Amino acid sequence: MLVKFGPALIVGLFYVTVVLHYTYTPDDTYIYLQYARNLAHGNGFSFDANTPSYGITGPLWALLIAGGAKAGLDPFIVAKTFDILFASLSIVLVFTFSVTLIQDKIYALVAALIFSLDAWFLRWSGTGMETSFAVILVLLTVKYAYLGDYHIAGFVAGLLTLVRPEGALLFVVIQTENFVVSYVLRRDRRMFWSGVFLYAIVVLPWMLYSYETFGSIVPNTEVAKSAVHWSFVSALSTAFDSAKVLGTTQTLTSLLLVFGIWVVLRRNGIGTFIVKAMPVLWIVILLLGYIVLDVQMVSRYLVPIIPLIILYALWSLKQLEISLQWAPKRGMIVLCVLAFVTVLQNQVVYRSTIVPHMREFAQGMEKGIKPIALWLRANSDGDATVLTPDVGLLGYMTNRDMFDTAGLITPAVKKAFHGESYDDGMLRQLYRTTVHPDYIVDRASTRERLASDSLRPVMTTEFGNLGIREPEAVYYTLYKATQ
């Protein structure tokens, strides 16, 4: 009975939990919505209508939302609905894949439960971002590779790459596994080339379009989120942030994964690892990639690897149970303790830290940025230009041409800062070498810091909690440029 109805109950529990923050919509979601709306209206792949730009990470996610918008649906509702749907399906997929991988339905239920209540997974579910879509594509890629269907895995990895570029690394890992297994087992290697071919069919058309249209196959988001000047200290900070994100919610599973893989390698050799747990290598490579590129770590970047950490941690536990010949009762006790501690840890983090932040953030968007957007829509000319550090909601609500200091939509503006911080760049007006906007929206710890004869303050709003790591209040000031 528990196994039969368990997955449905877990998904139901997920819905009840995620509703606590359904009003939370990050500014990046509105960037996707603006791209989708322009696509649906025939204005090209652009944030500012008919001005092509590669300002989003996942073009496939934007196309999916655009399909709903083309059908006359509200892009906001489309994004939120698809997000929740994919999140729910990913929980079910964790269960079904766990049954295949671990060969134990109780373990599979525990894996699904732990994942469904992971604090970071909950945070990004229902936000309208591409995260849940990426999660389910990661799980499908790994599952098909595990079943030996490398051609299908290659195709799905191609879709994943168009949602998160990190999917290319997963494709390399599974194809390496494919090649090695084919060599060892003397399997027909045509499946290797069919996987490569199907991956290329998915990815190459977009790469050609991207290069022809934007002059680059790398999204602006990758450049904007990476450090301008690499240093060992900043890379170490990225490593610490990554460890902190994973350690906050998956402390025991991460430790169990490392310990279990070590035991498996010692007892069974590398052959078992390659055939059963090769995707773990993607986790390592991905984290190293973030560190080497000195990426500004955001929790959603790590959500796609969390189900794999949980899956292979429980697989490792099962291998320990078999290798050490534990009695069934002992194995069940260890499993229950792991589940209880991990779920408790996640719920404490989610309810004490994440939910309060998301509620305050939603209020900040409503009272801090939305009034500025409404003023611009009502009082500025249709061809007015706006410079801002946060381009999503402002651009979506106003349909004015936007220049963003982060370099997502207009990389030239970020380049004009020459590696200087946002605050220094704004105070020194470095953007003026690239753009002379009609309006400027500034984000700062003080009110009206840019006020001068050439920048007249129009209105100032307060944003109470911009980020979990930046809980201090900030002020958004709208300026009209007078010269």
Q: What is the pLDDT of residues 235-289, one digit of tens each?
A: 788 888 888 999 999 999 999 888 888 877 777 777 666 667 788 889 989 998 8
Which domains does the chain possess? 2-325 (no CATH), 358-481 (3.40.50)
Torsion 376-56-129-341 (CA) sign: negative
Would you state the pLDDT for residue 226? 60
Q: What pLDDT score does 239 carry?
A: 86
- Both tokens of 427, joined, read 């105070």
In angstroms, rounded to a whole number, what is the distance separating the alpha carbons of residues 134 and 300? Answer: 10
Q: What are the structure tokens assigned to 418, written together?
A: 């020459």
User: CA of 191: how far to CAs of 149, 151, 152, in Å?
Assistant: 8, 6, 10
Which string of b and e fits 27-52 if b means at least 16 CB within 10 Å? bbbbbbbbbbbbbbeebebbbbeeeb
Please enumerate in sequence order all residues whose Cβ is within 8 A of that of 455, keeping only pairs 6 or more positions apart, or say none: 440, 479, 480, 481, 482
Q: Token match 């779920």: residue? A: 343
Within the chain, which residues score under 50 in pLDDT?
none
Write down how long the chain is: 483
Provide the H-helix boundaries in 406-451. 411-416, 422-427
The rounded distance, in Å, linking the Cα atoms of 208 and 472 is 43
Which pLDDT score is estimated for 188? Answer: 58
Alpha-carbon dihedral 358, 10, 248, 264, rounded to 10 degrees:
-150
d(CA 429, CA 481): 12
The pLDDT value given to residue 61: 98
pLDDT score of 187? 58
* Average pLDDT score, the chain: 89
3-state secondary structure of 460: strand
- The whole-angstrom separation of Cα 73 and Cα 350 is 32
Model's pTM, two decimal places?
Answer: 0.93
